[in-house]
Structure 1
Amino acid sequence: MPPIPCPSCGATLPPSPVVCPACQLPLTGPEAVQLWQLDQQLASLQTERLALIGALRARGTTTVPAPSRLGSALPGPQTSDLQSAGPQDLGAAGTTGPAAPLSAPRRRWTTQQTLLAVGVLLVLVAASIALAFAWFVIGPYGQMVVMGGFTGLAVYSSLYVSRRALPSSAEALALVAAGLLLLDVSAARRFGLFGLDLVSGRGYTVVTGLLVATGLAALHRVDRRIAAYALTSLAAASVAWAGVVSFAHGPAGAASLALLGAAAFGAARVALPGSLGLTRRAAGGPASLWSAVALATAFVGALRDTRPERFGADIAGPTASGLACVAVLVALCVGGAFVVRSVVAVRAGVLGSRAAVRADWSARPVSGDWRAVTLVALVTTAAGPAAVLGLGSQVGPVGTALLSGLVAAVGAGLLALRPARQSLGDLWLLGQVAAGELVLVALAVLHHADVPTIATLVATATLAAAAAVLRPRWLVPAAGVSALALLFAVAVAGQLRSPGTQVVAVTAYAAVLSAFALARRGRPDEQTTGVVAALSFGLALAASTPLPDGYAAASLAVLAAAAAATAVLRPRLRPVAAGVSAVTGTSSLWLVGGLASPDVQWILLALAAALLATLAIWLRERPEEAVLAIVAGLVAVTTVTLALDRGWPHAASGSAATYGVLAVVYAALPHRRALAAVGVAGLTTAVWVELLEADVMRLEAYTLPCAALLLAAGLWSHRELGDGSWTVAGPALLVALVPSAAATAVSDDLPRALLTVTAAVAVLVVGAWRRWQALVVVGAAAAGLVAVTQLGPFTLHAPRFLTLGTLGVLLLMVGARYEQRRENARQALSWLSSLT
């Protein structure tokens, strides 16, 4: 059952209330029963009112799309139905649907409050100006009397208008009164009343702050409906405590006093009588703020006091001030955890369960009573890692390593001794240990000491491994953290010996981690471990960049083997793993060959391309076939390009011919005929390279072999290509006829023109006879191109009257038989389109 609020002040009532603990309102007797029944009736009427409004809105949206007013939403004569409807009708309409739950109205800043706020500001400014001018007229004591009178008048006015049920005006006048009171105490010392100017400023701030806070709290006790007195009293008390903190020397003292202030305000939240109302309930706000101040001050002090006395090369002793700051941080962590736990326990008793407390806190973490608790929780969470960082920065590298081992041992002990339950407290405690361990790792790295860094990384890996074993639900992230920590520990340990040792050590670790991941088939940590293994290989390759190629070749070879094992044991990852294995294995062969000679390097690369193509043929109909074929093609192109760049034409042509033959063999497999194009490209490249090497410049020597290969490939693959003339014979005819026909325009080679036009006409005749569109179009285009190029020179030298006359006669003939020629053109196009 949800808590019941007081009908007068709204405070939460106990389960069996006799009197309100906040406003002392009696809750027994017939009057209390009648008040309860009246509240229930008001709530029921409000529910019916909201339901009726919802029904009217739904009715308006279904009947009229956009009425301008209520009268236009109903038919004209029937608008009087609302007037003639009795209370029973309204009640029935209001209860047609389920009653909407009542929600607390959202508080907004009203116009009245704006005017009152501006008025408060103007009154305070006017009072300040009046005080400045009146001082020279009435003297300091007269001024004291006047300002005291104004202050008393503001206090009386706020209490008076509050009793008249004017809350906003009362709050505004209360702020005026509080401001005047602070102005009075400041002016009293400023102008030396009663010799107050001789008093120390900090002491005066402490005393007057406490007095003002007490007075304002007393005013709030007189009328607890005025919240301004409670809030300003807490603000005055905070100012007074700030004066106390100012007496401290050094950050340790300031942090200790700030922590004491947080404890004092927290104790006030618990120990003050309930008659103080909001002053008691809002004391948690200053407590949380002073805990944040203590955290910041202690953290700065712990980091600043890092000039310890040396006990050795790497061992240092912390200073007393630094230890005091660390102690404050530890107190904040422990005390804050106790406070949060106590508040949650109390609220669980009110709300019924801790789950309800979590839901309420998560719904409004920075509003209401949870605002201060949220800040305390944040301070508590940050205090633990801050204490570890502050202590680690003072004890040196070796001390940091020892502290890391201690934290890891504490975390392992907690994991082993505490039961595995999903409690927020347990999660927070273990999170503090993990955060402290990570902070120590970062601090060890900043110390630039390799051995302590290795020790902290090993401690972190051990703690993460313990979490993975003892908390199965944390297996995936814990295994990842453990593997990463060990990776960096191995990298740093290898670097101690030499960069080459580092590469070898990281590569070996990556291989072991890959084998471990493959052994964890179906386990949750399999993917995490595999990802860290991939990162390990990447780190090894990055570290081998400035070293000789042998180190990178070894790392690539191990990576290729690991990827190949993954491809065999993990069918889901087979395409990707096969591609990685092919690329890294080829790269490793390239680097190994470079250690011997350029010739050996190129031979190994050529063999790798052939081997990959053979593997793709062997592993046909499997997921990795396409990946291996693509990688083989890329390596083959690289091999031919590299041979040409190094001036090895015969090697380039031989490798291209070999790859072409392999592609033809590959195309002989079922549903692989399209790869014949790759074979044509390889064999054509081989022929062209040899022709260039022999200084052959005849165009047909380059086009006719390629055309023959294209025609053979098209005829071989005619069924898969759909038996279309353009796909079967079109590419070959274009390569064979078009370049030769175009060459007749730039040369006077009559045999070429004669042979080209003869071949074109023959192709055209065959195409018309067999009804093949590609042969007709290509043959006609080539013959026409040769005819135009051969007729062109003679046309330029012919008499003008002959040229113009011939063109004129042609135009007359076309014009005279235009309709017939257009029909003939349509028939020709229709016939051409009907060809295959």
Structure 2
Amino acid sequence: MHMQSPGCPDCGIPLGSPPPARCTRCRLPLTGPDAFALWQVTGELSALDARRQWLAQRHAELLAALRARREAPAEIPVAASAGAPAIVPVSGPAARELSAPSARTALLIVGGVLVVVAAVVFTVVSWGRLGIGGRAAVLLALTACALALPRPLRRRQLTATAETSAAVGLALVLLDGYAARQAGLGGLDRVGAAGYWAVLTALTAVGAAGYGWWQRLRLPLPVGLLMARLPALLGTAALGGTTEDYATAVIATAAVDFAVLYALTARDTAGQAGFRERVGGERAATTLVTVARAVAGGWALLGGALAVGYAVVAPSPAAVVRAWVPLGLLVLLGTVLCRGFRALPFALRAGAEGVAAVAVIVAVGAGLRYVTPPGWAVVGYAAPAALIAAWAAVSCARSGRWAKPATGGPAGEPTGGPTGGPFAPPSRAAAALGELAAASTALLLTGVVVLPKLAHALIRPVAHGVALWGGGHPPRWSWQLAAAPLVVLWLSAAVLAAMAGLRARAVGDGDRHPDRLANALRNAQALTAVPAVLLLPVALGLPYAWVLAAAVVASVAVAVDVVRRPDAALLPRLLVLAATGALALLWSSADRAAVLAVWGTFAASAAVLAHVLSATASPPAVRTTARVAGAFAVLALGVEAVASGATAGLPRHVTAFAVLAVAVTAAGAAAAWHRMPGRGQVSTAVEGAGYALAAIAIALTVLHPDALSLALAVTGVAGLAVALRPDRRRAALVGTGLLIASSWVRLALAGVSSPEAYTLPITAAALVVGHRRRTGTPGTGSWPAYGAGLSATMLPGLAAMWSDENWVRPLLLGAAALLVTVVGVRARLQAPLVVGGGVLVLVGLHELAPTVVQVFGLLPRWVPVAAAGLLLLLLGATYEKRIDEARRLRDTVRSMT
């Protein structure tokens, strides 16, 4: 008889409906009486699990509700109609600020601490007043009482008091040991302190754990766990151990912790009662197991760090051999935890295998350090890391999973890889991922170690180029790179390539099914391979020209490949193109002829790339590449112009016109490309690059006014030419502004200091543009149309008038302001009226100021004060009338446009 099931009871693979006679993966029979009974048991267990989950959830809800009422006023039960106790609040003078459990816990803690302090004082201070018999009797009696009290206290439901008594008893045990040695009981004072305390803490740790297990107490077990940290360290100190001995002791302690934890939880894993009941329930057991794993794992990592640090700096081969002992123990511990402890979480098992892999890498690298040539020590660590990473990548690919395996069967058994590949047990998957992560990290660290040497080799030509183009006479330079850093880089590139290929093959990666991890690995491999390949000629000692030629050829080859196949794996090739091109451009700076050749070649290549890619209906990435290529072609030509002028010995302000010629040519090319179908975005990029070059050209002429005026004029004319395009009408404003700026420079060179000579062209242009805007766009106000134009001349002229003692400027400015005011009133325009009237008033005040000052100088000082007071009285008397008049004036002005 068949029954429906979500999966195979053994391997967990989905069976479908109806299920087959045998599992298609593990070949488990699914028919017959035994199979029927198994389905029944499975169904009942599922029902029990569901019931248990509901009860646990209900328990948590009720407990949370009661905890929320913990701080409420006290309540007493009264008889209810159904016989159940009803809760009625008890009124009191004030609510209690401390709950009963909190008060009890505080009292127990304070009481226990006081008892221990009293025992210490008695042992240290008052010990000498008693004989040997009395001393032993008092301490033993106190210890025995404290350790014997928990059982009767638990029977009376005083669990917290029992835990406190046990803690006091354990503290007294240590005091007993201290007192016995201080008194020389049995010759203990002749025993070394470290050895004595090693034995005592070991016995106390074992006794505390056994005592807590026997008495079913929670506190003694973690106390014993923490105290178990000390015996191995104290014993090593007693024997005069070295760093590797301490590392061995710490790792051995962690191994014992995991072994004891496995022994305690084995029965619970098998479904038998034991550990959970002994420690006070499932929650307490989970907490204790988590703490024990954390402590043991931290202790193992501490020992591993000591062993690794000692192996890396070991002064001799014999010291390396001694360091292999803790490293080997760490490897054994990590392997056993990953492959033997099935109850451990997946992440912890993977981490254990990763630690073991790091120990292997360090052990091998430390040994190879004494057999490899000088400078190759880092390769001794990189080589095993690369081998382990490649092996782990192969294991991940074979298992069909690169992440934590999905679980769907009983006991958390995995249900198979994402692609239905061969089944891999969780231990193998955890081992593969742990080894891969650890080896990759170790390989990355070796790359960080050799990074300064690689960076120095990469930027060595640039440093020489800075001195060359700075105008000095740079000394001779050499370009060298040791082979060891390059080998590390090659190993990294090879591992990344292997991981990318295996990942793509494992998940069925392809153009139709992109995988993020495979793409990231492929891109990282591309970026790593570029310096690895281009620095190889440097390591081989080839001349500078050959190395630069190799970089240029590689970049051009990749660009040709992108043109031929624009849709196939574009991003990795673009990364390679950008990396090779950047290195070639940077390295070319070491030679003037190389700069001209390389930048010219790349400008032509980029122009061809932009032209070809923009001519096809391609995806957005390809179109973006075309835009970038077009902009780079223009900028490269600008650099070519600057380099040509510098090579020819031309001044900067003369070289600027070569750059400006490139910018003007770029504007013309952009206009031509804009008329071609599908090339609008490339045209915009080329045009923007041309604008940037125009700005650079103008900046190069800043220190030479004649050249600056000419550059501004040429750029302005070019801007007016650009404005001939229907979609670039606003370029006329920029062109006009540049021409005006050019005229300003010319006026400054001619010694003209009157501001009107500079501002009148702007005013005229602004008024013409504003008038056309107002007539062409109905509803345009007078301020947007005429405000800026009128202010451009009148405000600077007004500012210059106050420092000008001549009568011509006030007369002309006043006449112009009067004319503008009259026009504003006649046309009912607000901007001319306000600007012209305001300037006219200020001109009048300027003309009246000397007379006013003279009159005020002839009058007595009290007259201005009296006049001001009378004016205020007059304004106050006619306040309402003046307010109405001001409002009418405001409304009249507002009614204007």
The alpha carbon displacement at 1:295 in A equals 1.3
Residues 85 and 438 of structure 1, relative CA distance in 2, 3 Å threshold: same
Matched, 1:668 2:724: yes
The alpha carbon displacement at 1:49 in A equals 12
Matched, 1:594 2:655: no
Residue 431 of structure 1, aligned match among 431, 437, 460: 437
Residues 766 and 333 of structure 1, relative CA distance in 2, 3 Å threshold: same
The alpha carbon displacement at 1:828 in A equals 7.0
Aligned-partner Cα distance in 2 for 1:800–1:121: 93
CA contact under 8 A between 1:388 and 1:439: conserved in structure 2? no
Residue 252 of structure 1, aligned match among 244, 247, 264: 244
Residues 431 and 234 of structure 1, relative CA distance in 2, 3 Å threshold: closer
The alpha carbon displacement at 1:457 in A equals 0.6
Q: Which residue of 1 aligns with 2:382?
A: 404
The alpha carbon displacement at 1:817 in A equals 13
For residues 425-453 of structure 1, the C-alpha deviation after alignment (integer angstroms, 9 at most, x for no partner) is 23223212212222332344589983111
Q: Which residue of 2 aligns with 1:295?
A: 304
The alpha carbon displacement at 1:601 in A equals 1.4
Q: Which residue of 1 aligns with 2:217?
A: 226
Q: Which residue of 2 aligns with 1:677?
A: 733
Residues 731 and 641 of structure 1, relative CA distance in 2, 3 Å threshold: same
Alignment of 1:183-198 (within 5 A): 183-198=175-190
Could you tell me which amino acid in structure 1 is paired with residue 703 of structure 2? D
Q: Which residue of 2 aligns with 1:77?
A: none
Matched, 1:476 2:449: no
The alpha carbon displacement at 1:623 in A equals 4.6
The alpha carbon displacement at 1:594 in A equals 2.0
Segments of structure 2 that go 5 or more residues without pairing to the other structure are 6-47, 87-98, 268-272, 280-284, 370-374, 405-429, 455-480, 505-514, 615-620
Q: Which residue of 2 aligns with 1:11?
A: none
Residue 704 of structure 2, aligned match among 646, 658, 675: 646
Q: Which residue of 1 aligns with 2:622?
A: 570
The worse-fitting range, judged by mean Cα deviation, of 823-832 and 726-735 is 823-832
Residues 696 and 763 of structure 1, relative CA distance in 2, 3 Å threshold: same
The worse-fitting range, judged by mean Cα deviation, of 279-288 and 615-624 is 279-288
Residues 728 and 556 of structure 1, relative CA distance in 2, 3 Å threshold: farther
Residues 639 and 212 of structure 1, relative CA distance in 2, 3 Å threshold: closer
Residues 645 and 83 of structure 1, relative CA distance in 2, 3 Å threshold: same
Aligned-partner Cα distance in 2 for 1:637–1:143: 95
Segments of structure 1 that go 5 or more residues without pairing to the other structure are 2-36, 61-67, 72-79, 91-106, 309-318, 348-356, 362-373
Q: Which residue of 1 aligns with 2:711?
A: 655
Matched, 1:486 2:486: no
CA contact under 8 A between 1:326 and 1:391: conserved in structure 2? no
Residues 737 and 161 of structure 1, relative CA distance in 2, 3 Å threshold: closer
Residue 381 of structure 1, aligned match among 346, 354, 359: 354
The alpha carbon displacement at 1:826 in A equals 7.1
The alpha carbon displacement at 1:684 in A equals 1.9
Relative to the length of structure 2, the TM-score reads 0.64
Residues 180 and 685 of structure 1, relative CA distance in 2, 3 Å threshold: closer
Could you tell me which amino acid in structure 2 is paired with residue 681 of structure 1? G
Could you tell me which amino acid in structure 2 is paired with residue 320 of structure 1? A
CA contact under 8 A between 1:392 and 1:403: conserved in structure 2? yes
Helix, strand or coil: the match of 2:726?
Answer: coil
Aligned-partner Cα distance in 1 for 2:62–2:202: 52
Percentage of identical aligned residues: 24
Matched, 1:458 2:487: no
Could you tell me which amino acid in structure 2 is paired with residue 325 of structure 1? A
Residues 711 and 575 of structure 1, relative CA distance in 2, 3 Å threshold: farther
Matched, 1:177 2:169: yes
Residues 530 and 382 of structure 1, relative CA distance in 2, 3 Å threshold: farther
Aligned-partner Cα distance in 2 for 1:824–1:206: 104
For residues 87-117 of structure 1, the C-alpha deviation after alignment (integer angstroms, 9 at most, x for no partner) is 7999xxxxxxxxxxxxxxxx99843333333
Relative to the length of structure 1, the TM-score reads 0.68
Residues 574 and 761 of structure 1, relative CA distance in 2, 3 Å threshold: farther
Alignment of 1:413-812 (within 5 A): 413-416=391-394, 418-424=398-404, 425=430, 426-445=432-451, 450-472=482-504, 473=515, 474-489=517-532, 493=536, 526-527=570-571, 530=574, 547=590, 565=609, 568=614, 570-572=622-624, 582-583=634-635, 585-596=637-648, 597-598=650-651, 600-618=654-672, 622-623=680-681, 632-633=690-691, 635-640=693-698, 642-647=700-705, 649=706, 651-670=707-726, 672-695=728-751, 702-714=758-770, 725-728=782-785, 731-734=788-791
Aligned-partner Cα distance in 2 for 1:204–1:431: 43
The alpha carbon displacement at 1:69 in A equals 8.8
Aligned-partner Cα distance in 1 for 2:753–2:575: 56
Alignment of 1:301-320 (within 5 A): 301-305=310-314, 307-308=315-316, 319-320=317-318
The alpha carbon displacement at 1:678 in A equals 1.6
Q: Which residue of 1 aligns with 2:365?
A: 392
The alpha carbon displacement at 1:495 in A equals 6.1
The alpha carbon displacement at 1:455 in A equals 0.5
Aligned-partner Cα distance in 1 for 2:232–2:566: 63
Residue 320 of structure 2, aligned match among 312, 319, 322: 322
CA contact under 8 A between 1:559 and 1:581: conserved in structure 2? yes
CA contact under 8 A between 2:562 and 2:570: conserved in structure 1? yes
Helix, strand or coil: the match of 2:401?
Answer: coil
**Larger relative contact order, structure 1 or 2 (CA cutoff 8 Å, min sep 6):** 2
For residues 185-215 of structure 1, the C-alpha deviation after alignment (integer angstroms, 9 at most, x for no partner) is 3433343322334445555445555554555
Helix, strand or coil: the match of 1:159?
Answer: helix
Residues 158 and 666 of structure 1, relative CA distance in 2, 3 Å threshold: same
For residues 660-695 of structure 1, the C-alpha deviation after alignment (integer angstroms, 9 at most, x for no partner) is 222223333335433322222222233333444445
Could you tell me which amino acid in structure 1 is paired with residue 379 of structure 2? A
Residues 443 and 623 of structure 1, relative CA distance in 2, 3 Å threshold: closer
The alpha carbon displacement at 1:459 in A equals 0.9
Residue 151 of structure 1, aligned match among 143, 147, 159: 143
Residues 276 and 620 of structure 1, relative CA distance in 2, 3 Å threshold: closer
Alignment of 1:221-370 (within 5 A): 223-234=214-225, 238-246=229-237, 247=239, 249-270=241-262, 288=297, 290-305=299-314, 307-308=315-316, 319-326=317-324, 328-343=326-341, 345-346=342-343
Could you tell me which amino acid in structure 1 is paired with residue 529 of structure 2? L
Could you tell me which amino acid in structure 2 is paired with residue 296 of structure 1? A
Aligned-partner Cα distance in 1 for 2:566–2:335: 41
Could you tell me which amino acid in structure 2 is paired with residue 148 of structure 1? L
Alignment of 1:33-182 (within 5 A): 47=58, 86=82, 110-132=102-124, 135-182=127-174
- The count of aligned residue pairs is 715
Could you tell me which amino acid in structure 1 is paired with residue 622 of structure 2? R
For residues 257-313 of structure 1, the C-alpha deviation after alignment (integer angstroms, 9 at most, x for no partner) is 4444443444444457979956999786775465334313312321231x34xxxxx
CA contact under 8 A between 1:674 and 1:717: conserved in structure 2? no
Aligned-partner Cα distance in 2 for 1:405–1:44: 56
Superposition RMSD in Å: 5.5
Aligned-partner Cα distance in 2 for 1:266–1:771: 95
